Structure formats: structure tokens, C-alpha cells
Amino acid sequence: MKRTIAIVAGGDTSEFHVSLRSAQGIYSFIDKEKYTLYIVEMQGTRWEVQLPDGTKTPVDRNDFSFMLGAEKIKFDFAYITIHGTPGEDGRLQGYFDMMHIPYSCCGVLAAAITYDKFTCNQYLKAFGVRIAESLLLRQGQSVSDEDVMEKIGLPCFIKPSLGGSSFGVTKVKTKEEIQPAIVKAFEEAQEVLVEAFMEGTELTCGCYKTKDKTVIFPPTEVVTHNEFFDYDAKYNGQVDEITPARISDELTNRVQMLTSAIYDILGCSGIIRVDYIVTAGEKINLLEVNTTPGMTATSFIPQQVRAAGLDIKDVMTDIIENKF
């Protein structure tokens, strides 16, 4: 008998529509001969299942089920592809834990840590991972232009400490841009990160592990046509994404081994993607860890799966079956 899979998308941040695109990608990747698939769209307290006829029906949050005509359908597994709260920060993971429904990605603690960029980077710094110098501002806190220039320097990045897809991110080059950039970042999240700019090669590397194997994908080199890897670069093609990256075998191996180590340190599950900047002297610096990476057909992970000579359908089966 086929297992029934919920592909959970949407969420409560600016990445709502990005998440829906990832859901369509995952829907196309999963083996429909093995599984019955439904996309579950969440936004606030609106939880709805997309039905084959194009209509939507509400989810019963008491047991994560829905009615299909006179039949009650219960989900056997949730593939979480919400980029942002509540699917990337541990909240939805806690719900599924209480419902005893297995899911695709990290548990509550790892999700909560990785969703907060400052917390995650400072945590991994204690394990010897290199990170940029940074300052954290919480809602109601402020920092002077002089402190930013003295402690972090210019240029720098000012961005939400929570969230993704480069919403609310500014590359700041002048003193006059600092405060407007902080205001912009606070529009996306209640915590803002002021982070030193690092000159170098941007790389990203995906990884997943099951009970019996570790799979680390070839890294991708990210060459943006813009000031940085912003929303237009990510989703409107203003970037060159080169997989595998144009780096030495030795550096490739170091990036892959660091990605695997970060996976284990954080206690990750499912597919993650780790972003880096390689600076002078081939020093590998962590940018951030993504525990629910984008999964459209052109996203990094599907590119890396292809470059590794793997079938994305098999990877999806690995992720699902590993939880049973």
C-alpha cells in the first residue's frame, strides 16, 4: 500500500511564494508509483490541502488529516519545504513530533539553531568553524554608524538574522547607508545581523545522510552579476552557478568534509546546504546553514544531484524511507 506524503509549503514570511515553487519541484521529483502526494499550503492558521481538481480543503490540525469526499486521509510523512517560519525554525517540527508523524528535515533544536544565522554561526565557531565578524541587534536596540565602522568595517552586510532568499539584505558601502539598511532588515525580522564583508569565492555544498550512507554533493560556485547573491540573482537568473565548482580537488574535499562535519555537529537530518566564502589562502568561511534548501528544478541541490550522477527521485526516496 502506498504511503501518503504531505509536501508542506507556504509559511508566514516573504518566502511564501518561493516555498510554493519548491513544493512544485519536490512534487515532480518524488516517485508517484511509490507514494501518493498532496501539497499542503500553510499561511497562519490557514492549513489547506491542494486537491487534484484544483480545489482546496482544510487540514484537521488535531491529527493532520483531511477529508476526501467521505474518506478521512491521514498523512504518513511530511516533506517540509517552508522557507522561514513555521517550517524552518522548529515550530512545525515540534507539532509533527507530537503527532508522531515523521518528516524530512532537522528536528526542533537543529532547526531553531540554524534558522537564527547569528546563533548558528557563533555555535559553530566554538567547534573551530571560521565565520565573519558580526554584531547582533534585537528589536528596539540600535548601533551607531561609528561602532559599525570601527567594529565591523565597510563594506559590510546588514541583513535579517532570520529568514532567507536575501529579503531585507543590503550591502553597505558608505556611512550614510548604515541606518536605512538596519531599518530595511528589521522589516523582515526582529533580529538584525551586521556582518563583515569577505572578499572571495562563494561556494555552496549539499549533503544528506541516512542510516547506512553519507552523500555529499559536488560544491557549486556562485558568481553573481549583482553586488551580491540577492533575490534577482537567486530567482531571476542574474548569476552563474557552476557545478562542480572550479576549484581544486583538495579544496573540494575540504569543503565537503566541513559540510559533513557541520551536519553531524548540528544533528541534522534530511538534505542540508551550507554556504561558504573562500578567502585568500583558501580559508573556508561559513556564511550560513540551510536545513530546508530550495528545491525548484533549477535550485542548487537538484543541480548538485545531477552533477553527482544521481537521480533526484532516488534521493527523495532515500529521505522518506530513512524515517521508517
* Same domain membership, residue 299 and residue 224: yes
Model pLDDT, residue 117: 87
pLDDT band at 166 (very low <50, low <70, confident <90, very high): low
DSSP annotation of 294: -
* Same domain membership, residue 214 and residue 273: yes
* Same domain membership, residue 260 and residue 121: yes
Q: Is residue 220 included in any domain, yes or no?
A: yes
Which residue in the block uniquely carries the three cell numbers 537567486? Answer: 234
Residue ending a domain, among 162, 194, 226, is 194
Q: Mean pLDDT across the stretch 38-46?
A: 97
Q: pLDDT at residue 109 above 50? A: yes
Q: Give catalytic status of residue 165 as yes or no.
A: yes
Q: pLDDT at residue 116 above 70? A: yes
Give the HSE-up count for residue 252: Cα atoms under 13 Å, Cβ half-sphere.
13
Are residues 300 and 220 in contact, defined by beta-carbon separation less than 8 angstroms? yes
* Same domain membership, residue 256 and residue 120: yes
Count of residues for the chain?
A: 324
**pLDDT tens for residues 221-277?**
999 775 644 444 444 556 889 999 999 999 999 999 999 999 999 999 999 999 999
Residue 140: left if φ>0, alpha if ψ -120 to 50, beta else—which one? left
- Residue 24 dihedral angles phi and psi, to the nearest 5°: -65, -40
Which of 86-100, 160-174, 254-268, 275-289 is the least confident region?
Answer: 160-174
What is the C-alpha separation between 162 and 160, in angstroms, rounded?
5
What is the C-alpha separation between 107 and 105, in angstroms, rounded?
7
Q: Which residues contact 45 (CB under 8 A, 6 or more apart)?
A: none
* Same domain membership, residue 124 and residue 260: yes
Are residues 207 and 293 in contact, defined by beta-carbon separation less than 8 angstroms? no
Model pLDDT, residue 225: 74
Active-site residue identified among 134, 165, 166, 269: 165
The count of domains in the chain is 3
Binding residues, as ranges, are 275, 288, 290
Active-site residue identified among 134, 166, 269, 299: 299
Q: Mean pLDDT across the stretch 138-165?
A: 86
CA 68 centroid distance within chain:
32
Model pLDDT, residue 230: 46
User: What's the Cα-to-Cα distance from 221 to each of 1, 91, 128, 239, 254, rounded to whole Å?
Assistant: 42, 32, 23, 10, 15
Q: Give catalytic status of residue 134 as yes or no.
A: no
* Same domain membership, residue 210 and residue 168: no
pLDDT band at 318 (very low <50, low <70, confident <90, very high): very high
Domain that holds residue 203: 110-128+198-311
Q: Mean pLDDT across the stretch 122-139?
A: 94
Q: Which residues pair with 37 in a beta bridge?
A: 5
Q: pLDDT at residue 162 above 80? A: no
* Same domain membership, residue 95 and residue 7: yes
Binding residues for Mg(2+), as ranges, are 275, 288, 290
Q: pLDDT at residue 165 above 50? A: no
* Same domain membership, residue 124 and residue 50: no
The CATH number assigned to the domain holding 167 equals: 3.30.1490.20
Q: Which residues contact 315 (CB under 8 A, 6 or more apart)?
A: 29, 208, 215, 271, 305
Residue of 112, 85, 117 whose CA lies nearest to 13: 85
**pLDDT tens for residues 43-65?**
999 999 999 899 999 999 999 99
* Same domain membership, residue 280 and residue 147: no
Ranked by mean pLDDT, which of 89-103, 162-176, 183-197 comes out on top?
89-103
State the DSSP string of 153-213: -SSEEEEESS--TTTT-EEE-SGGGHHHHHHHHHTT-SEEEEEE---SEEEEEEEEE-SS-
Q: Give catalytic status of residue 176 as yes or no.
A: no
Mean pLDDT over all residues of the chain?
Answer: 92
Q: Is residue 289 included in any domain, yes or no?
A: yes
Residue 41 three-state SS: strand
Active-site residue identified among 14, 15, 41, 202: 15
